[in-house]
Amino acid sequence: MSDTTSKYKHIFFDLDHTLWDFEANSRATLSELFEELGLKDRGIPSFETFHETYLPINSQYWARYHHKLMPKEELRVGRFLETLRRFKVDDEALAEQIADLYLRRSPYRTATFPDAMEVLEYLSKKYALHIITNGFSEVQDIKIRESRLEVYFRHVFVSEQVGHQKPQREIFLHAMEVTGATVEESLMIGDNMATDIMGAKAVGMDQVFFNPLGKKTRDKATYEIAALSELKNFL
C-alpha cells in the first residue's frame, strides 16, 4: 500500500450505480412488468419506448424528492402515472400496481457491477467498509442482503433512516460519528458527482469518482476510476 493511501482506515461506498447495478436490475424488472401487465395492449408501442420515456421522468421525480419538494408516496406512484399519461393511459390504479410490483421485485434482483465482489473481498481484509446510500430503507436493505453484499460491510447508513440525504453534510458526519472514523482516514466511493463526491468533499473526506461511462464533469475528485478493479491499484 502506498504512503498516499495508507492513511485510510474506513471506506464508505455508495450502493446504487456503484455496487448494485441499478440500471440492469431496474430495466429487467420493468421489462417483466411491461409484458405481465399487458402494457402493449394499452397502446404503448414497445418496452423500449416505455423505458426511454420513464427514465427522465424518474430522474426528475427523484430530484424533487431529494430537494424535499415531493413526499415519498408521490415519488413512488407519480413517476409511473406520468409515464403512462405520456401514452394517453390515465389509469391511477395501473400506476399504483406497477409501483407496488416494481418496489416488491426489483430489490430482489442481484446484478452487481463487474468485479464488485472480488474487490470487496480484497478491501475488507484491509479496511473497515461501510455503505452510505440515499433511498428507502426497506428497499436498500433487501438489495444488500439478496446480493450478498452485507457480509462485507460493518455499517449501512440509509438516508431515510438517518433523516438526511447525500450530499447533506449531516449524513456523512453521522456515519463518521457512528463508525468512529475521522475525516483524514476516510474515503468515499460513488458514481454521483453531486451527491457522493461533492458531499464527501464538503466535509473534507477524500473521494473516488466511479465513472464507468466516462462522463465529463467540471468538478474533480481525489481519484477517478472507470472500473471497480482499479481500486486495487492504489488501495
pLDDT, one tens digit per residue, over 128-151 is 999 999 988 889 999 999 999 999
Q: What is the pTM of this model?
A: 0.92
Tell me the average pLDDT across 149-157: 98
What's the pLDDT score for residue 4? 57
Cα distances from 28 to residues 53, 121, 221, in angstroms, run 16, 27, 32
CB 223 within 8 A of CB 210: no
Average pLDDT over the chain reads 96
CB 14 within 8 A of CB 190: yes
Domains of the chain: 10-21+112-233 (3.40.50.1000), 23-108 (1.10.150.240)
d(CA 83, CA 55): 9
Return all residues near 30 (Cβ < 8 A) that are at least 6 apart: 47, 50, 51, 54, 102
| Residue 149 burial (CB count, 10 A) | 22
d(CA 138, CA 227): 28
